[in-house]
Amino acid sequence: MADQLGNERRTRHAVVIGGGLAGLLAARVLAEHAERVTVVERDRYPEGAEPRPGVPQSRHLHVLLAGGQQALESLLPGFLDELAELGAPTVGMPQDLVSWANGSWMRRTPATTRLFTGARPQLDWLVRRRVLADPRIETVEGSEVVGLAGDSARVRGVRLRERGAGADKEQRTLEADLVVDASGRGSKAPDWLAAIGAEAPHEEVLDTGLAYATRIYRAEEDPERTDALGYYIVPNPRQVYGAVVLPIGEGRHLVTLSGLRDDAPPTDESGFEEFAKRLPHPVISEWLSRAEPESPVFGFRKTANIRRRYDRPGRRPAGFLAMGDALATFNPVYGQGMAVAALSAVALRDALADRRKTPTTRRVQRALFDASAFAWDISKGADLKMPGATGNVLGTSVADKPVSWYLERIQQRYMSDPVVGAPFRAVLTLTEPAGALFAPEVVRAVLGPVREGLREPAMWREAPQD
């Protein structure tokens, strides 16, 4: 790994702060360029596929979008087969979901994309098992990073102390040629950089106040009622309540209900199920009445979109990168986090392997920014329209207005027109760029008349048409 990430020599030691999905995938990539990689993790990893405190959302719904599936498979060949062997369900869109958005129900035409919907701890465990089998990668568990070693010109390692120890607990320095911050949404790196005389990044924030609550239910298949695998009520500025019901395996389903600030779903059993009656149709409330709860209700409130602009010029040291949620974190309602973590690791791999360009800190950081930029645009674009949104990226420019007009027409049509729906889903699942929405056949459909949407839930799949 060359530098200003190294001086035309092989990097001896890379440190990754955070042992979640983004951190482990970064370690997998760095192991091909460094003599050794150390992952510093605040938690102690569980033995198996169990939730852990360092992933506070692990009890909530996680989907692995198609773009993330492709990225993970390229980083860990055979990963998707292993995930399927563990029983992680797949849900085809739109054929497997009863889905409501913008006042109408989606036609359940043949699937054009598929989601993995297994429990998050299962996916984390499988990635952890694969990555940490590499002898070049070691872990320091139960320890927290409290600062960076080095100065404003170059980071030379991290300062650690045992987790749970007081401020007077002895610290030690772990030297490194490269430090990657993958510590998540609550990253302290801006403060650490300031402490060594460097410049903290500008933060962009957009917060809708979305809050959600999740509970596991067990429900048997009911072929007399539906052949759907799940349900999805998409909130919008006029109808702010949302719901998702998706299988996680062995007859269990995660049910997530959402609302905005000061109107969040309760975390008690009766309040949770009563809240479901606020949705624009009783289909989910009726499903809950037939299902058996298997867990308490867990709430989650930290859902702001936050992006740290490490890509912009500034007085920042060589040898330091940020990725994953430490770089950009999104409203979880869009299900982008795991996919972006995997896509960012692919971007890191490609930037370091590009022999045409020296992988300087700034160049690699820009590649990581670019890997998350599209997901940010999707999440930001949708959240800007929600009532009560706050932050420092509010408002649209004159140049944005034609695009907003076009996207609004797409949203009016994708539920009922497969010509529009297929590329729209490809863009949302991060497998195609936004340009797919401007293909000639899509433009014709978008500029044409709106097909009337379904007025009642589509409880049965549509047969494929020749």
Per-residue pLDDT averaged across 39-45, rounded? 95
Burial of residue 77 (CB within 10 Å: 0-12, 13-18, 19+) is exposed
State yes or no: pLDDT of 456 exceeds 50: yes
pLDDT of the residue at 167: 59
CA 367 to chain centre: 18
Query: What gap in Å lies between CA 103 and CA 454, rounded to an integer?
Result: 9
Return the pLDDT at 57: 66
What structural domains does the chain harbor? 11-62+124-205+303-381 (3.50.50.60), 210-300 (3.30.70.2450)
Residue 70 pLDDT > 90: yes
Joined together, the tokens standing for residue 20 give 């979640």
CA-to-CA dists, residue 131 to 104, 119, 295, angstroms: 44, 19, 31
- Indicate whether 360 pLDDT > 90: yes
Could you tell me the pLDDT band of residue 7, with boundaries at 50, 70 and 90?
very low
Which two structure tokens, joined as six digits, stand for 87? Answer: 């029983």
Q: Is 60 exceeded by the pLDDT of residue 384?
A: yes
Give the model confidence (pLDDT) of 170-190 as tens digits: 899 999 999 999 999 999 999
Query: What are the pLDDT digits (tens) for 117-160?
Result: 998 899 999 999 999 999 999 999 999 999 999 999 999 999 99
pLDDT of residue 168: 67
Whether residue 394 is predicted with pLDDT greater than 90 in this model: the reply is no
What confidence score (pLDDT) does residue 61 get?
80
At 58, is the pLDDT very low, low, confident or very high (cuts 50, 70, 90)?
A: low
